[in-house]
Amino acid sequence: MRSWTFAKGHGTLNDFVLLVDRHGLLDPDEDDVRWLCDRRAGIGGDGLLRAVKAEHVPSWEGDGSLWFMDYRNADGSVAEMCGNGIRVFARHLLDSGLADGPEVQVATRSGLRTVAAQPDGRLRVSMGPVRTTPDAVQVSAPVAGERRSWPATAVDVGNPHAVVLLGAPATPDVLDALDLSAAPSWVPADHFPSGVNVEFVTVLGERHLRMRVHERGSGETLSCGTGTVAVAAAHAARVGAGSGTWRVDVRGGTVEVELADGEAWMTGPAELVAHGEVVLPDRRTAA
Ligand SMILES: N[C@@H](CCC[C@H](N)C(=O)O)C(=O)O
């Protein structure tokens, strides 16, 4: 019987199951991840965060004593980075005494990140370099029953994003009318060979944006931290603003994104809502 200790948390309602696996012994496979993230059969979440000491991660070449964030999407696929997840991850390490604050260094598949606890309870994350390519693809999705398409900016935040800047809110609002129950498509189709997270954005003020997101591997979620950085960077590129602070509203709340010299920082909340013990179904064996 596999009985694992877990925590459950969210950042602006992007929610995660969290496993602490110091010695790298748990090894959840794709079926395990899908089951843990299943909102009916399992615990439920947009993704899984596994905290493992970096010395047990063969691809990590840095300090092995750091905690490594092994992120998986709800469909079991692996992703390089998760901006909301890393705040929840750091909150758990700090609250449970597994790391000393107020700053925690976290190893990720897209490199080293620093998460700093703020006096107001939020967490500020160094999100690393951000690269934008305006008009890299054409994205399409249904709006009120009709398929529409828009040029999108490709943004690399360690993981891939395609950002559609819709402009000022229209009446009726396209952002609200978008159907994101299925993944938007894009051309050229080979532009994102490993898939992409797609954000749609309206501009509410000079540096105030509202977005919805369809996440690779999870579907529409109520927030995406790397996505908020991607939309701020795409908007900055569009208006020719190299640096500054953007407020980004998502369906699950608000985060703040700072951009300077091609790098980004993101500040937002992280809540832990449950701790428990989960008994996993037996692994299926090949016939
Ligand atoms: N929700 C995350 C991003 C998770 C990974 C993403 N779905 C991908 O496959 O790249 C965030 O808060 O950044």
**Spatial contact of 248 and 231, defined as CB atoms under 8 Å apart:** yes
Q: What is the dihedral of CA 200, 203, 207, 213, to 10 degrees?
A: -20
Does the residue 287 lie in any domain?
A: no
How far is the centre of ligand 1, averaged over its atoms, from the C-alpha of 286 (Å)? 31
pLDDT tens-place values along the chain, 287 residues long = 899 999 999 999 999 999 999 999 998 999 999 999 999 999 999 999 999 999 999 999 999 999 999 999 999 999 999 999 999 999 999 999 999 989 999 999 999 999 999 999 999 999 999 999 999 999 999 999 999 999 999 999 999 999 999 988 877 799 999 999 999 999 999 999 999 999 999 999 999 999 999 999 999 999 999 999 999 999 999 999 989 999 999 999 999 999 999 999 999 999 999 999 999 998 766 55
Does the residue 286 lie in any domain?
A: no
Q: Which atom of ligand 1 is nearest to the CA of 195?
A: 9
Check residue 286 and give its pLDDT. 57
> Residue 271's beta-bridge partner residues?
10
Query: Of residues 82, 115, 178, 248, which has the active-site annotation?
Result: 82
Q: How many domains does one find in the chain?
A: 2
How far is the centre of ligand 1, averaged over its atoms, from the C-alpha of 216 (Å)? 7
If asked whether residues 22 and 135 sit together in one domain, one would say no
Query: Of residues 54, 201, 224, 231, which has the active-site annotation?
Result: 224
Q: Please state, in angstroms and rounded to a whole number, the distance separating the CA atoms of residues 107 and 287.
A: 38
Does the residue 285 lie in any domain?
A: no
Q: How many CB atoms are closer than 10 A to CB 92?
A: 22
Structural domain range at position 211: 131-261
CA distances to 110, 191, 268 from 160, rounded to whole Å, are: 11, 10, 21
Check residue 98 and give its pLDDT. 98
Q: Is 37 a catalytic residue?
A: no
If asked whether residues 162 and 117 sit together in one domain, one would say no
How far is the centre of ligand 1, averaged over its atoms, from the C-alpha of 226 (Å)? 6
* Radius of gyration of the chain from its Cα atoms, rounded to whole angstroms: 19
CATH code of 202's domain? 3.10.310.10
Does the residue 222 lie in any domain?
A: yes
